[in-house]
């Protein structure tokens, strides 16, 4: 792992270990992938304005989110189906988040039981909620999350339907999960040419189910039902009323891109919002999040905490988002590549790479506290 110098290196290692269908599931975006590309490119448009000849050792990266102190200004975003990338993927990633002193956000659509994921981390964990399966199933999940000790509920609001990920269609993602052997056949070679992954996958029980979406008949939702279930799971602002009644802790709204939605979220009682376009996996053609951030900071920055995700691949990206008003950021693919490349060691390496970048960037900027970053350290080009 020490040979991986940046997140791009971890991405290449993930590509080598994973079958095409799974690598592309992580790596890809929706439709023409315009937003996916812009999410990272936008960081190149922001340049630093350093203050040189300033003593900055040691550097303090701490920040607080919802009253909890984090050792790092970045958290691990909810990434569904992580168990397909690496055995017990969600537990493995959560453990590394805890070891690094940051939050792990568990997706509703994960392959490990939420109680086991919480037990796997020494740090705080948040539960990301999709209303898959409807209100009763979601209510049961919220109650379980509370008993298991999750500290916040993250309600994702940008998934009215699943985005069309063209790579998944071409790679036979649907055929492979439906389990009809004749339909699967053309797509099987990609699995057979990745024996290391295949052995791990079979050793971990083969095709995962969703143990945090428990159907009325009592069993976990099978994988093949997820697309249809997502179609029926649109969340509306009014849903926040009953969600709030079930969950007395902090609520974070994920998927805010405009001042208007940020105001809706605050009016609905959100304790924080995540400026996110789902990593370019939902509505293609929406603005990159760094572009949307200032408008949201202006609208609700004095009333709620604001985090940002989508496109972060370097520690300097983290710093730029903090300068433009995010209190913390979340990383998705950056750690998912590490998990897929080498399990816990890969997630640890991803975190270490970003942590090192952030420290170096702060020192070169002449700022010794992540909390002190502000707009005066950057300019748009
Ligand atoms: C493979 C994958 C699965 C994801 N699954 C979920 C999910 O289940 N729930 C959710 O709210 N967001 C999900 N996301 C979005 C992430 O939480 C996050 O918003 C996004 O990855 C940030 O962009 P980045 O990957 O460029 O860092 C997923 C992202 C990826 C890459």
C-beta 82 within 6 A of ligand 1? no
C-beta 128 within 6 A of ligand 1? yes
C-beta 277 within 6 A of ligand 1? no
State whether residue 270 is helix, strand or coil. Answer: coil
- Kindly state the average pLDDT of the residues 26-55: 97
| Catalytic member of 20, 278, 313, 314 | 278
Ligand 1 atom closest to the CA of 25, numbered from 1 = 1
Give just the sign of the alpha carbon dihedral 120, 125, 131, 135. Answer: positive
Confidence of residue 128 (pLDDT cuts 50, 70, 90): very high
Check whether 375 has a pLDDT greater than 90. yes
- Kindly state the average pLDDT of the residues 151-158: 97
DSSP state for residue 369 in the 8-state scheme = B
Residue 185 pLDDT: 96
pLDDT, one tens digit per residue, over 249-277 is 999 999 999 999 999 999 999 999 999 99
C-beta 40 within 6 A of ligand 1? no
Whether residue 368 lies in the annotated active site: no
Confidence of residue 310 (pLDDT cuts 50, 70, 90): very high
- Kindly state the average pLDDT of the residues 146-156: 98
Choose the weakest-confidence range: 45-59, 139-153, 283-297, 316-330: 45-59
Check whether 296 has a pLDDT greater than 80. yes
Check whether 227 has a pLDDT greater than 80. no
pLDDT, one tens digit per residue, over 59-112 is 999 999 999 999 999 999 999 999 999 999 999 999 999 999 999 999 999 999
Residue 229 pLDDT: 79
Closest to 94 measured CA to CA, from 358, 359, 348, 371? 348
Task: Give the chain's length.
Answer: 381
Expressed in angstroms and rounded, the spacing between residue 278 Cα and the centre of ligand 1 is 5
Proportion of the chain above pLDDT 90, given as a percent:
92
Expressed in angstroms and rounded, the spacing between residue 26 Cα and the centre of ligand 1 is 8
CA distance linking residue 293 with residue 9, whole number of Å: 28
Check whether 24 has a pLDDT greater than 90. yes
CA distance linking residue 30 with residue 227, whole number of Å: 14
Instruction: Provide the pairing of β-strand 378-380 with 328-331.
Output: unpaired
CATH of domain 7-369: 3.20.20.70
Residue 56 pLDDT: 79
End-to-end CA distance of the chain: 35
Provide the residue ranges of all domains of the chain, joining segments of one domain with +: 7-369
Angle, in degrees to the nearest 10, between helices 289-300 and 315-323: 30
Residues whose CB is less than 8 angstroms from the CB of residue 46 and which lie 6 or more positions away in sequence, other chains included: 290, 320, 323, 324, 378, 379, 380, 381
CA distance linking residue 108 with residue 130, whole number of Å: 6
Mutate to test the pocket of ligand 1, among 23, 41, 77 (most ligand atoms within 8 A of CB): 77
pLDDT, one tens digit per residue, over 157-204 is 999 888 999 999 999 999 999 889 999 999 999 999 999 999 999 999
Ligand 1 atom closest to the CA of 36, numbered from 1 = 26
Is the model's pTM score more than 0.85?
yes
Ligand 1 atom closest to the CA of 154, numbered from 1 = 11
Check whether 225 has a pLDDT greater than 80. no
């Amino acid at each position: 792992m020490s040979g991986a110098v940046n997140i791009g290196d971890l991405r290449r290692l993930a590509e080598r270990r994973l079958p095409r269908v799974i690598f592309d599931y992580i790596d890809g975006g929706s439709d023409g992938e315009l937003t996916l590309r812009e999410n990272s490119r936008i960081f190149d448009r922001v340049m630093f304005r350093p203050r040189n000849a300033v003593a900055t050792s040691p550097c303090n990266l701490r920040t607080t989110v919802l009253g909890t102190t984090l050792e790092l200004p970045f958290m691990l975003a909810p990434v569904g189906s992580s168990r397909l990338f690496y055995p017990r993927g969600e537990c493995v990633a959560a453990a590394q988040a805890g070891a690094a002193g940051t939050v792990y956000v568990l997706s509703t659509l994960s392959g490990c039981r939420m109680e086991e994921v919480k037990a796997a981390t020494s740090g705080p964990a948040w539960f990301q909620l999709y209303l898959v399966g409807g209100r009763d199933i979601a209510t049961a999940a919220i109650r379980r999350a509370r008993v298991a000790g999750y500290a916040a509920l993250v309600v994702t609001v940008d998934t009215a339907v699943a985005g069309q990920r063209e790579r998944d269609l071409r790679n036979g993602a649907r055929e492979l999960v439906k389990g009809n052997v004749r339909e699967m056949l053309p797509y099987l070679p990609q699995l057979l040419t990745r024996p290391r992954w295949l052995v791990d996958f079979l050793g971990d029980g083969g095709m995962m189910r969703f143990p945090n979406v428990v159907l009325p008949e009592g069993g976990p939702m099978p994988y093949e039902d997820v697309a249809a279930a997502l179609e029926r799971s649109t969340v509306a602002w009014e849903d926040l009323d009953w969600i709030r009644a079930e969950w007395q802790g902090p609520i974070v709204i994920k998927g805010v891109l405009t001042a208007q939605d940020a105001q809706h979220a605050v009016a609905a009682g959100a304790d924080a919002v995540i400026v996110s376009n789902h990593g370019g996996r939902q509505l293609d053609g929406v603005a990159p999040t760094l572009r949307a951030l200032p408008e949201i900071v202006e609208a609700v920055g004095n009333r709620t905490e604001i985090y940002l995700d989508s496109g972060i691949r370097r520690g300097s990206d983290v710093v730029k988002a903090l300068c433009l008003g995010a209190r913390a950021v979340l990383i998705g693919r950056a750690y998912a590549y590490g998990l897929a490349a080498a399990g816990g060691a890969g997630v640890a390496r991803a975190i270490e790479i970003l942590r090192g970048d952030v420290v170096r960037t702060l020192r070169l900027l002449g700022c010794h506290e992540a909390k002190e970053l502000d707009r005066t350290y950057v300019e748009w080009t």
